[in-house]
A and B are shown apart, each in its own frame.
Chain A
Amino acid sequence: MPAQIAATFAPMSSRRLLIFGGIALIAGGMLFGDIFAVFVLHQNGGQTGQTLLAATEAVRAGNALAVKQIFEHLGGLLEDHGTKVDAHVHMTDAGYLAILLALIQPYVALSPKRKKLLAGWFVSGGLFLPVGIFLIHYVGLAYSPFASIGWASVLADSAGVVLIVVLIGETWGLWMFLRDHRNAGEPALPTDRTWERRALMGGGIVLVLLGFLYGAWYAGFDLYRHEAREAGILKTMLDRAAAGQGGTVVAVADYGSLAAERAVKIAAHSHLIEFGLLAMLLSFVQPYVQLSDNWKRRWVIVLLIGSIVLPVFVLLELNLGLLAGGIADLGGLLVIVGLTGMLVGVLRYSGSLDAASGATR
């Protein structure tokens, strides 16, 4: 166990807390995303389509009261969907930020106690923010003194404030480091160039670039077309329902197809970039993964395969349907497995480090 690497991973240090917390938040966020995709996403989409169809039937019958009731139910379905997507995104993003903060700890000139306190706050904030978002749909406005903000939103917003305060604190520490060249009291990260680190960094940059190019393509050729099409479909749906003509079912189906097309294209773009970032971040963690070289490489390959399979097959859902959806979920699972394998390696490393320092004492 090289001493210079061990020195960068001291027991109960801010860096160790941020790396553990970060990987756990990312794995938790991805697991939640996979569960959401398998058990909630498609069912929610189907219910939304049925509800919209019921609304067009109410329009055809001239029943304005029924329309209002149906839309209250539709609002609930959309909130259910939106808060779950947001919980997934915010948990994984907080994990990414935690690992990023671990990277810059050598340049943060604050006392170890303060750095650890900030790290603890950040990981707690990163956990409570998605929990608060998830609860918004279930808690609603119960016992809330505000007109449109419930207690779950207050929890989420408070956790967001904690994250901002920590980031400002870290920026202050960086500023002190640069201004006074004060020692941050922590050695810089190891800079070895192993196969795993290069594969993760190179693969990560390629994934991010692909995500950018696809996002630019989507913004240039699809975004405005989708927006115009949505308004057009809604007007057609309403005109036909109000005139008592047929074709509302087709219009509702068109609306569903458009929503699905938009969702998979945005998901492909965001997942390519997020997995690219994840791969780049994990390249820095590799010196702390205590596994044999073969197993370290296996987890890297599993993670990179999952990172490309998920976005590609999410896109193919438009053509191949649920088969592609299943393969995409499998891709997500591969990323979680690779990530968990690395986390086990980091846990083994910290365990043996602590055991060695205990034996020395």
Chain B
Amino acid sequence: MSSARKLLVFGGISLAVLGMLYGLHYAVFIEHQTLDRMGGSLAQAFVRGAEGNAPEADRAVDVYASTKYDYVRQVDVHSHWIGLAMLMIVLGATLDGVALEERLLTWIAAALFTGSLVFPLGVILQTVSHGAIWAAALAILGSGLVTVSLAVLAWGFIRSTT
């Protein structure tokens, strides 16, 4: 088993376990409360509107928007970690068909693993501080690493078939 394959298969399984543990923790301890807060704040906005209290209605819409901002990213982290993990394992299994040097393959595997870990991490860190540039930069860096690694692997695969 080459080091690139080890990194992709082991890294992929570890990432899948991490994504599932996060999903389980999220489903048991956070999701229901978040959904309650999201639905509650939207209902509150309409109730305040019916009472003629426009400032409170607007404030409740802001709470709803903020909760949904977190919810979307929390769910995204779970699905992206597991999705990227599956991609890593598949690519690990197919490395024989990629016409690239062993050393380059190891670097690509390392970049893919780092990107797959960092991209969702950057997404979830955006919930710590809404609109944080550093968290968005981390997510962009991670997704860039994944995209470039995948493009290089695709190129290697195409070279091997021609």
Q: Which residue of A lies closest to B150 (CB)?
A: A209
Q: Are B27 and A68 in contact (CB under 8 A)?
A: no
| Interface check A31, CB cutoff 8 A | no
CA distance A230 to B36 in the complex (A): 19
Selecting from A9-17, A237-245, A298-306, A349-357, the interface stretch reads: A237-245
Q: Are A67 and B46 in contact (CB under 8 A)?
A: yes
Q: Are A104 and B89 in contact (CB under 8 A)?
A: yes
| Interface check A324, CB cutoff 8 A | no
Q: Are A238 and B54 in contact (CB under 8 A)?
A: yes
- Set of chain A residues within 8 Å of B158, measured between Cβ atoms: 202
| Interface check B28, CB cutoff 8 A | yes
Selecting from A110-118, A276-284, A325-333, the interface stretch reads: A276-284
Most buried by B among A58, A100, A206: A100
Q: Are A227 and B52 in contact (CB under 8 A)?
A: no
Which of A55, A104, A161, A216 touches B46 (beta carbons < 8 Å)? A55
CA distance A68 to B96 in the complex (A): 60
Q: Which residue of A lies closest to B89 (CB)?
A: A100
Whether A238 touches B57, Cβ cut-off 8 Å, given contacts A64-B47, A209-B154, is: yes
Whether A284 touches B93, Cβ cut-off 8 Å, given contacts A62-B52, A171-B13, A231-B62, is: yes
- Set of chain A residues within 8 Å of B94, measured between Cβ atoms: 201, 280, 283-284
Q: Are A104 and B49 in contact (CB under 8 A)?
A: no
CA distance A270 to B86 in the complex (A): 14
Q: Are B10 and A174 in contact (CB under 8 A)?
A: yes
Q: Mark A246-277, 1 if CB is under 8 A from B, else 0.
A: 00000000000000000000000010011001
| Interface check A292, CB cutoff 8 A | no
| Interface check A198, CB cutoff 8 A | yes
Which of A70, A163, A205, A239 touches B54 (beta carbons < 8 Å)? A239
Whether A67 touches B50, Cβ cut-off 8 Å, given contacts A178-B1, A205-B154, is: yes
| Interface check A71, CB cutoff 8 A | yes
- Set of chain B residues within 8 Å of A96, measured between Cβ atoms: 86
CA distance A104 to B89 in the complex (A): 8
| Interface check B132, CB cutoff 8 A | no
Q: Are B39 and A78 in contact (CB under 8 A)?
A: yes
Q: Mark B29-63, 1 if CB is under 8 A from A, else 0.
A: 00011001001001101110111101001100110
CA distance A227 to B73 in the complex (A): 12
Whether A238 touches B45, Cβ cut-off 8 Å, given contacts A103-B89, A153-B27, A212-B143, is: yes
- Set of chain B residues within 8 Å of A68, measured between Cβ atoms: 43, 47
| Interface check A167, CB cutoff 8 A | yes
Q: Mark B63-77, 1 if CB is under 8 A from A, else 0.
A: 011001100100000
- Set of chain B residues within 8 Å of A273, measured between Cβ atoms: 83, 87
Q: Are B17 and A238 in contact (CB under 8 A)?
A: no
Partner-B contacts on A (CB < 8 A): 55-56, 58-59, 61-64, 66-68, 70-71, 74-75, 78, 89, 93, 96-97, 100, 103-104, 107, 148-149, 153, 156-157, 160-161, 163-164, 167-168, 170-171, 174, 178, 189, 191, 193, 198, 201-202, 205-206, 208-209, 212-213, 215-216, 219, 227, 230-231, 234-235, 238-239, 241-242, 270, 273-274, 277, 280-281, 283-284
Partner-A contacts on B (CB < 8 A): 1, 6, 9-10, 12-14, 16-17, 20-21, 23-24, 27-28, 32-33, 36, 39, 42-43, 45-47, 49-52, 54, 57-58, 61-62, 64-65, 68-69, 72, 79, 82-83, 86-87, 89-90, 93-94, 96-97, 139, 143, 146-147, 150-151, 153-154, 157-158, 161
